[in-house]
Structure 1
Amino acid sequence: ELDTTPLARALQGDSLARPSPSTDVLRRAFRKEEIRTQRRSDGTVTIEGVRFEIPARFRVLLRPTVRFARWDLSSADLVDPRHGTHLATLLPIDKAANADGRRRVVQPVAQPNDVVAEPSGIAPHLRQLMVEYAATGLPPAYVPSERAALASYSAEHEHEDDQDNSEDTTP
């Protein structure tokens, strides 16, 4: 009827096999998820008696959610508790390096900006809309009334007048 062997027929057809996940995906699939309390002094959490260091950018998390395998504490995962997404891989603290007296300086997560932009008086989104309207040649969608413009002008200059009066003190 088919004039072929069953093995040859099976090899000629489409494969219905699914690709197997990678070993990392399988390793992370069978992990326990728990909420731990972070030590504020050194930014570590303890899992099954092993200390793991939290990366500096996640030090603000007081109660981080971690995933780990009890039988393999060579690493743990820091995860987002709401979505379950992987944030960082936590590694155990090296006790020999930690016993050394030298300590790494913990850098702040965000550096403060030295240069502060001067406010121009126009909100950025409004400035963008004004540029778009100027490019099209159409009149602006909103034109402030003269009363509103005068009110904002007087409010700005009232503050300047107060500063001028405080500097000019005559007895």
Structure 2
Amino acid sequence: MERYDGPLDDAVIVALGCNDCGVWRDCLEALEAALARFRAEGIDVLARSSWWSSLAWPDPTDPPFLNGVVIVRSDHDPHGLMQALGRIEEAFGRQRHQQNAPRTLDLDLIAYGRLCGDLDGLILPHPRAAERRFVMGPLAEIAPDWEHPRGSRAVDLAEAATVGRDARPV
């Protein structure tokens, strides 16, 4: 875990998740390999959380998830960053044939500085991140005082989250 000591109003936050290791030995190896791929897409990791484990949502009978959060720097605008994250997902075998199905890699843009609203189909901050302990818990590790536009800090959102309440650091 690496805490972020930069300006929180500029933080670009990406969440990572995996519950199907694909060709990798396990989800931990898959997520570490995904992070290693960020640089090739022009994304520098400035801080990273520990990995957190949680039951799959919404179907807890699916394989459990491993999740984490990183704060990054990139010259990409929000749409360009989403495209870069999509290329990484694709390289890791991400299939989008069924909503909430197990996935080899899930990369979500949680926040891009203080941008807020619908940016031509890209909604920032991520519309459901504040409800998810498996996002807010890892974010609270590295930037506990990051403030959601609704006015709550990451550490408080992690405590109040209603989805993924079982999420814990591994």
Does the TM-score normalized on the shorter chain lie above 0.5? no
Instruction: State the structure with more CA Rg.
Output: 1
Q: Which has the higher strand share?
A: 2
Q: TM-score, normalised by structure 2?
A: 0.23
Q: TM-score, normalised by structure 1?
A: 0.23
